[in-house]
Chains A and B, each alone.
Chain A
Amino acid sequence: MTGLLRDLAALVDPRRVWGDVEDLVAYTNDATHRRELPAAVVAPESADEVAAVLRYANQRGIPVIPRGAGTGLAGGAVPVSGGLVLDLKRLNRILEIDHKNLTATVECGVVTGHFQREVEARGLFYPPDPQSLAVCTIGGNVATRAGGPRGVKYGTTKDYVLGLEAVLPDGSVISYGGKSVKMSAGYDLARVFTGSEGTLGVITKVTLRLLVLPPSRRIMIAAFPELDSAAEAVSALIARGAEPSMLEMLDRIAVTSLQRYLPLGLPPDLEAFLIIEVDGHPAKVEEDCALVAEVCREYGVHEVRVARDAAEAERIVQARRALFPAAARAAPNLVIEDATVPRTQVPAMVRAIRRIAERHQVLISITGHIGDGNLHPGIIMDRRFPESVRRAEQAMAEIAREALNLGGTLSGEHGIGLLKAPFLEWEFGEAGVSLMRRLKRAFDPHGIMNPGKILGGGTAGVRD
């Protein structure tokens, strides 16, 4: 046993410390193609254990990589060579669901989908729905500001964080915010940790805002012969007050691979498909359904249909969730982009992505939360071939640059992580990035927290 493992075994139950390469390979990556072997994995069961491990790592200058379910799409949980992975999935208790205050307090490792089910069983509603919700954790969601299809109406994780507890690298524990829905005290430390991607400290506990579950929900699919008309229909829908709770777009490549997994009876030869959900009071839902159908027809829809029953609606939602992994049936691997633009720029962005695909000779499927301008181009590649990876990453860089040109942002919901760290200055300039660096130093003077992520400069992921 190395000194590192012996030391860790003194801090937490030795059965929750792993150092064998046979165990570590399970921790080399998240849902991206970057891989790096850590030196050890530790699974703490309490904030105290997190603090003990951080204090130790801070003294020795050992890099620490907080990890939820490892489903990130930016490489945020990819280890640094010699680093220590902190597997937080055992901090998995829902501490309280407060019906009267409409809040819930959970540990960071609670699985998002599980939490939603528990909340909904009580007639309450936690809207953020990253499509990985069957596995991803609330801590990971907060650390990446995860969103999802419902973001178009309900916003993303960041809009639900009322307060949190976090452990700093020196082992001290801070707590900011709580059940009060208003707060104007001091710097908003909860906001700073939200989206920090493990670079400032470890979020151990979160207090979340809840809503009341809408009584009724309907889902529709609209198939358009052309992408532009679908995009225009989207703008028109929102302008006419339809307030959809989901407005997803899928292109032909995506629909083809999806239907291999779950046939939805969609015509394979059209260019764009919208999945539209409306929710609220039954009468309003009926009204919105009619409005959606009407607007789609005005914009030349080929076919628009409402899910017959709950089972069909569930099938559509399941299919949407399976969109990326289902691509495995057609593509070797996929880099999922997350560029986000103002809604009106969606058609321009789509055209730009197609140009980029052609220029780099890569296949890119275009899907995304079109209702809020958050596209998820899926760049198809084969991680076995360095040339293929290089072309994909280059296409990714150009898409990011194009999103910024159109007044958008590098990332709508996946975060910067490792993959987009080199582009950060494009969005924030030297002054912006330099302030972020100083902020990081104030929290983490020895730079042990997830080095290389967001701000770059680390060595992680340079080899496969």
Chain B
Amino acid sequence: MYAIDDFVGAIRHCLQCNFCLSACPIYREELVEAHAPRGRLNLVEAALVDQRVAPNEKVRRRLDRCLLCASCARVCPGGIPLDDVFLAARVELSGKPGAGLTERFVVRQVLNRRVTSSLLKRSLSLARRLGLAPSDIPRVASSSFTRRAPREAAPRGPTAARVAYFVGCGTEYLFPDTGEALLRVLPDHGIAVVVPEGQTCCGLPALALGDLDATREAIEVFLAVFAALEVDAVVTDCTSCGHMLRQKAPYVLPPDDPRLKQLRALSEKIFEVTEFLERLGVQRKHPLPDVKVTYHVPCHRGWSEGVAAAPRRLLAQATGVRWTEMREPESCCGAGGYFFLRHRDVAERIRRRKIEDILATKADVVVTQCPACRYYLQQALADEGPRVLHPVALLAGMGP
């Protein structure tokens, strides 16, 4: 469970090689070891395990300046789950004052409640006027996706598979076009889709705040809505939802919770949509030979083998787009969920590198499977630059 006691063994096993420093986007900008993964790990140990340092606001602020991108954990040869340690530390420190009250409100009252877009818009504008929310928080789509999406989409031709669609908050509030594309593309390839009612957030925003209760609430809803469905898979269009539901969710329930077994089984069934499609094989083609496409690989990719490879192979097979790889396609864009709202300076410096790499490709479209990356990149690319889309949008024939 996300309690520091459960990670003491992992912390002690770290061999202090500092290899993880080379993978950290924040360190790359700050060049100071207090903002490198090993430094953070040692801060967690000092403050929360050995109590050599008081676990105060200063500790919290330093641990907060972390994208939770898991790049460090991915490169650690020792298998130290660094981002889990950082999550557990946030949970541990969340009781302390000053721990993101506005965000906590949004998570509990909006994301976990799946309020309508219009209600969300009204409350955000109120929050802005009261100075509780930054002025440039993402613009919410005029109508939330699940309010207008059909509950089911029947396959064309024989049924190859039946899936349930987990609609993340990104698609729900920011980019309903991704959901529309998905509901067109999967049936095109013989996949029956249900869009279960009552679903809410995956819980990652709550967990990043260290709000374990709100996270548990989200996971309980996930279980209640999805566990009983007779489907071959649960697909998501969001790599962060997949990361949360496949890898993190089991640590949210206490180890003796009777629902854990059910949750594990369900977690195994979570697939990112392009990876799922690629596994099943492409049935139909949507030629887009004139579109030049590059791919930004989201950081939350470690949870399934094919997340980073699938869009490349799938788009090549099904659309014949002109593919161009950017320099360092796997490096972070700086978004980190809502990290960029809280740490603008460093997030923007990270994004600047990415934007340069994107522009150098002269691509018409950047594809990526993370709505936060999409939002944050599109914001900087503005109108003249390439459009940022989910790969399924291209499969649905939605060009630039």
A residues lining the B interface (CB < 8 Å)? 18, 20-33, 41, 43, 69-71, 87, 89-90, 92, 111, 113, 132, 134-135, 260-261, 321-322, 324-329, 331-334, 382-384
Given A22-B58, A326-B78, also A132-B39 (CB < 8 A): no
A-contact bits for B1-32, CB 8 A (1 contact / 0 none): 00000000000111111110110000000011
Q: Which of A18, A113, A322, A327 contacts B32 (CB 8 A)?
A: A18
Interface residue count on the B side (C-beta < 8 Å): 32
A327, B46: Cβ atoms under 8 Å? Answer: no
Given A23-B62, A25-B39, A69-B21, also A87-B33 (CB < 8 A): yes
Q: Within the assembled complex, what's the spacing in Å between the Cα atoms of A30 and B15?
A: 10
Q: Within the assembled complex, what's the spacing in Å between the Cα atoms of A239 and B320?
A: 57
B residues lining the A interface (CB < 8 Å)? 12-19, 21-22, 31-34, 36, 38-40, 42-43, 46-47, 52-53, 58-59, 62, 76-80
Given A22-B62, A25-B53, also A261-B77 (CB < 8 A): yes
A70, B33: Cβ atoms under 8 Å? Answer: yes
Q: A residues within 8 A CB of B42? A: 25-26, 28-29
B53, A135: Cβ atoms under 8 Å? Answer: no
B62, A324: Cβ atoms under 8 Å? Answer: no
Give the residue among A23, A90, A111 with the most B Cβ atoms within 10 A.
A23
Q: How far is the CB of A307 from chain B (nearest CB, A)?
A: 20
Which chain B residue lies CB-closest to A23?
B34
In the complex, the number of residue pairs spanning A and B with C-beta atoms less than 8 Å apart equals 110
A329, B46: Cβ atoms under 8 Å? Answer: no
Q: B residues within 8 A CB of A321? A: 77
A325, B53: Cβ atoms under 8 Å? Answer: no
Can you report 11 A-B residue pairs in the complex whose CB atoms are below 8 A from each other?
A: A18-B34, A22-B58, A26-B34, A27-B34, A41-B32, A71-B17, A261-B77, A261-B78, A324-B15, A325-B15, A326-B77
B77, A325: Cβ atoms under 8 Å? Answer: yes
> 4 smallest A-B Cβ distances: which pairs?
A328-B78, A26-B39, A322-B77, A23-B34
Q: A residues within 8 A CB of B77? A: 261, 321-322, 325-326, 328
Q: Within the assembled complex, what's the spacing in Å between the Cα atoms of A400 and B12?
A: 27
B16, A135: Cβ atoms under 8 Å? Answer: no
Q: Within the assembled complex, what's the spacing in Å between the Cα atoms of A24 and B40?
A: 11
Given A25-B39, A25-B53, A383-B12, also A325-B34 (CB < 8 A): no
A328, B14: Cβ atoms under 8 Å? Answer: yes
Q: Which of B12, B16, B76, B79 contacts A29 (CB 8 A)?
A: B16
Q: B residues within 8 A CB of A20? A: 58
Q: A residues within 8 A CB of B47? A: 22
Q: How far is the CB of B35 from chain A (nearest CB, A)?
A: 8
Q: Within the assembled complex, what's the spacing in Å between the Cα atoms of A24 and B46?
A: 11
Name 14 extra pairs, CB < 8 A, besides A25-B53, A27-B39, A132-B18: A23-B34, A25-B52, A26-B32, A26-B38, A41-B32, A43-B31, A71-B18, A90-B31, A261-B79, A324-B15, A328-B77, A328-B79, A332-B12, A382-B12
Q: How far is the CB of B40 from chain A (nearest CB, A)?
A: 8
Q: How far is the CB of B155 from chain A (nearest CB, A)?
A: 38
Which chain A residue lies CB-closest to B14?
A328
Q: Within the assembled complex, what's the spacing in Å between the Cα atoms of A326 and B77?
A: 5
Given A329-B78, A329-B79, also A30-B58 (CB < 8 A): no
Q: B residues within 8 A CB of A331? A: 13
B17, A324: Cβ atoms under 8 Å? Answer: yes
Q: A residues within 8 A CB of B33? A: 26-27, 70, 87
Which chain B residue lies CB-closest to A92?
B31
Q: How far is the CB of B65 from chain A (nearest CB, A)?
A: 11
A325, B78: Cβ atoms under 8 Å? Answer: yes
Q: Which of A22, A28, A111, A333 contacts B59 (CB 8 A)?
A: A22
B79, A21: Cβ atoms under 8 Å? Answer: no
A22, B15: Cβ atoms under 8 Å? Answer: no
Q: Within the assembled complex, what's the spacing in Å between the Cα atoms of A89 and B24?
A: 15
Q: Within the assembled complex, what's the spacing in Å between the Cα atoms of A25 and B32?
A: 12
Q: A residues within 8 A CB of B38? A: 26
Q: How far is the CB of A148 from chain B (nearest CB, A)?
A: 15
Q: How far is the CB of B13 from chain A (nearest CB, A)?
A: 5
Q: Which of B16, B31, B40, B79 contacts A31 (CB 8 A)?
A: B16
Q: B residues within 8 A CB of A111? A: 22
B15, A334: Cβ atoms under 8 Å? Answer: yes
Which chain A residue lies CB-closest to B36?
A26
Which chain A residue lies CB-closest to B10?
A328
Q: Within the assembled complex, what's the spacing in Å between the Cα atoms of A27 and B18?
A: 11
Q: Within the assembled complex, what's the spacing in Å between the Cα atoms of A321 and B19?
A: 10
